[in-house]
């Protein structure tokens, strides 16, 4: 991969002593939230499910609160994700998916379409996230106690997070939200994930059958893994789970944050 | 039930500004932990699984930490539980249970023995816990923001907690540890439990099949219910779950505690 240059495009100072900056890294658009602090903050990579852009209000709210707790938080729209242009092939698969779901197609059939959509998305997104990670860790305001190895957290999109946690030793802890389809490759890679893990599940998530989430929880290789489940549908996660997530990172990324 | 008099037998001041007092209420022996505080503390009833005494070191450790977080914590050895004398019939059932488990008897058969042991234990224990609750709430150091209705938490033995939460409106939040056998009556009563609920589960708890715990989680009538599961066996619960439990009570019993 060619060397890309990190360029900041805009900066906004938020109420809670958080600085929000838009950046580009070559063709990758990203947002970085950092706490106003004299000491470098541990980094949390926060990725959304593939269909949603990095400007999505729920992601932005999560990121701001996490930054206010003392973390640097970064997100990008990776290739084919969020606001990035989609290939014609991608658009066709998404149309096919909509048709199949509206027609109430059998789960197996819908799964195959998901596989052909999400599988390649993870393959394309992962290298961009790793490039972004390299660039961000060179910033003086990012680092935290662990410095290079084992200082980074990941939060969000499960399929991508499994891949990143499986290949990137600087990621020390992962928080997954059980949403969306996890491709076959990542279901296999789950066994290779051995770092501390918090999996957050909505008990009545229509698009994410409970049984599959519990099977994935079983599959992870981590010795320290915790499952949190709450009543309700996909978007019903209670606010206290965000605090719990921050405390989880606090236990694993640094000892002086709460 | 006749009026019983609450009598304190001993008092010990602990390191973390917690006062530990042994008491009796008629024939019921109990322990009360209270924080050194000018304002009344919300009460948490902490009950052990039926086989273990109130002096068990894990219960005592949990109680002390919870009291250090600003709660009054009480436990008793109810009739037939802990150090209280057991009836000959009880001893016979326990012996029968040991034999069946050592012989690797089928689950159905073991369940029937559990039912005949734990069912009556809950029936006998519940009134004693309610009598204790009445007596403790009359103490000036116990109360908290909610005062009379909805100011009490319950933590621990699930079968007893289901009964208490189903019949006692002063209990405002329950934290269950999925351990041991839940009798048929309490599996039915679970639907009547509608207060906020935190269920803590060890994923590989030999004595407590996961599927049953998840079915019970489903059965509770509460709109706000959260499941926490961690890898490992019955006694492997990570320390941070105690903090999570205290924060859960902090959300529901009072707003000024953390």
Is residue B201 a contact partner of residue B237, using CB atoms and an 8 Å limit?
A: no
CB pair distance less than 8 Å for A222 and B229 = no
Is 80 exceeded by the pLDDT of residue A149? no
CB under 8 A, 24+ apart: contacts of B100-103: none
The answer as to whether B152 is a domain residue is yes
Q: Are B49 and B80 in contact (CB under 8 A)?
A: no
**What are the backbone angles phi and psi of residue B243, rounded to the nearest 5°?**
-60, -45
**What phi and psi, each to the nearest 5 degrees, are found at residue B188?**
-70, -45
Using the Cβ of A194 and the Cβ atoms of chain B, whether some distance falls under 8 Å is answered with no
Contacts of A221 in chain B (CB under 8 A): none
Q: Which two tokens stand for residue A135?
A: 């660039």
Residue among A222, A228, A243 minimizing CB distance to B228: A228
Residues paired with residue A226 on neighbouring β-strands, in sequence order? A198, B230
Does B247 contact A240 at a Cβ distance shorter than 8 Å?
A: yes
**Alpha helix locations (H) across chain A?**
57-68, 88-102, 107-137, 158-167, 184-189, 210-219, 240-253
Q: Is the pLDDT confidence value at A194 over 60?
A: yes
User: What is the DSSP code string of A23-84?
Assistant: EEETTEEEEEEEE--SSPBPEEEEE--TTS-TT-HHHHHHHHHHHHTT-EEEEE--TTSTTS
pLDDT for B3? 73
Q: What is the pLDDT of residue A150?
A: 60
For residue B209, the domain's CATH number is: 3.40.50.1820
Q: Check whether A113 has a pLDDT greater than 60.
A: yes
Confidence tier at B149 by pLDDT (50, 70, 90): low
Look at B226 and A224 and tell me if their CB atoms are within 8 Å: no
Does B207 map to a domain?
yes
Hey, how many other C-beta atoms are within 10 angstroms of the C-beta on A64? 17
- Dist CA B166 CA B193 (whole Å): 5
**Chain A residues close to B231, C-beta within 8 Å:** 222-226
Q: Is A244 on the interface with B (CB under 8 A)?
A: yes
Q: What is the pLDDT of residues B150-172, one digit of tens each?
A: 689 999 999 999 999 999 999 99
Residue B115 belongs to a domain: no
Residue B139 lies in a domain: yes
Q: Hey, how many other C-beta atoms are within 10 angstroms of the C-beta on A197?
A: 27
Helix axes A107-137, A158-167, angle to 10 degrees: 50
Give the chain A residue nearest B239 (alpha carbons). Answer: A251
Q: Is the pTM of this model over 0.80?
A: yes
A255 contacts chain B (CB < 8 A): no
Cβ contact B155:B245 at 8 Å: yes
Nearest to A74 by CA among A138, A149, A123, A121: A138
CB–CB contact B225 A230 (8 Å): yes
Does position A199 have pLDDT exceeding 70, yes or no?
yes
Q: Is A100 contained in some domain?
A: no
Residue B177 β-bridge partners: B157, B200
DSSP B142: B
- Which pLDDT score, from 0 to 100, does residue B150 have? 61
Specify if A77 maps to a domain. yes
Rounded Cα distance between B131 and A94, Å, is 62
- Residue A105: exposed, middle, or buried by beta-carbon count in 10 A (0-12, 13-18, 19+)? middle
pLDDT digits (tens, 9 = 90+) for A74-100: 999 999 888 899 889 999 999 999 999
Per-residue pLDDT band at A197 (split at 50, 70, 90) = very high
What pLDDT is attached to residue B235?
Answer: 85
Per-residue pLDDT of A20-52, as tens digits, reads: 999 999 999 999 999 998 788 999 999 987 778
DSSP-assigned states of every residue in B148-193: STT-EEEEEEHHHHHHHHHH-TTEEEEEEE--SPPPHHHHHHGGG-
A216 in any annotated domain? yes
CA–CA gap between residue A14 and residue B253 (Å, rounded): 33
CA-nearest residue to A210 within chain B is B214
Cβ B231–A247 below 8 Å, yes or no?
no
B215 touches chain A (CB under 8 A): no
The residue range of the domain holding B200 is 6-84+123-253
pLDDT at B103 over 60: yes
Mapping DSSP to helix (H, G, I), strand (E, B) and coil, where does residue A212 land? helix
Q: What is the residue whose two structure tokens read 């020390």?
A: A172
pLDDT in tens, B46-99: 998 777 888 988 899 999 999 999 999 999 999 988 889 988 999 999 999 999
Angle value at C-alpha B172, between A201 and B34, nearest 5 degrees:
110
- pLDDT-derived band of residue B178, with 50, 70 and 90 as boundaries? confident
The number of folded domains in chain A is: 1
For chain B, the average pLDDT equals: 90
Output the pLDDT for position A254: 67
């Amino acid at each position: 991969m060619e060397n890309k240059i990190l360029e900041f495009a805009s900066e906004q100072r938020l109420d809670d002593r958080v600085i929000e900056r838009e950046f580009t890294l070559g063709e990758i658009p990203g947002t970085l939230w950092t706490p106003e602090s004299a000491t470098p903050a541990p980094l949390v990579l926060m990725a959304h499910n593939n269909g949603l852009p990095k400007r999505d209000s729920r992601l932005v709210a999560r990121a701001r609160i996490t930054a206010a707790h003392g973390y640097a938080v970064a997100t990008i729209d990776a290739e084919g994700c969020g606001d990035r242009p989609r290939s014609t092939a991608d658009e066709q698969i998404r149309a096919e998916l909509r048709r199949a779901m509206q027609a109430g197609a059998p789960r197996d059939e819908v799964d195959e379409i998901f596989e052909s959509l999400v599988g390649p998305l993870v393959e394309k997104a992962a290298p961009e996230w790793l490039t972004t990670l390299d660039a961000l860790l060179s910033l003086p305001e990012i680092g935290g106690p662990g410095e290079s190895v084992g200082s980074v957290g990941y939060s969000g999109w499960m399929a991508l997070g499994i891949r990143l946690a499986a290949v990137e030793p600087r990621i020390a802890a992962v928080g997954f939200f059980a949403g969306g389809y996890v491709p076959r490759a990542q279901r296999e890679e789950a066994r290779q994930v051995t770092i501390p893990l918090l999996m957050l599940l909505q008990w009545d998530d229509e698009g994410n059958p409970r049984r599959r989430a519990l099977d994935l929880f079983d599959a992870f290789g981590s010795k320290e893994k915790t499952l949190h489940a709450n009543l309700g549908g996909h978007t019903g996660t209670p606010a206290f789970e965000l605090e719990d997530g921050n405390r989880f990172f606090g236990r694993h990324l640094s000892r002086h944050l709460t």
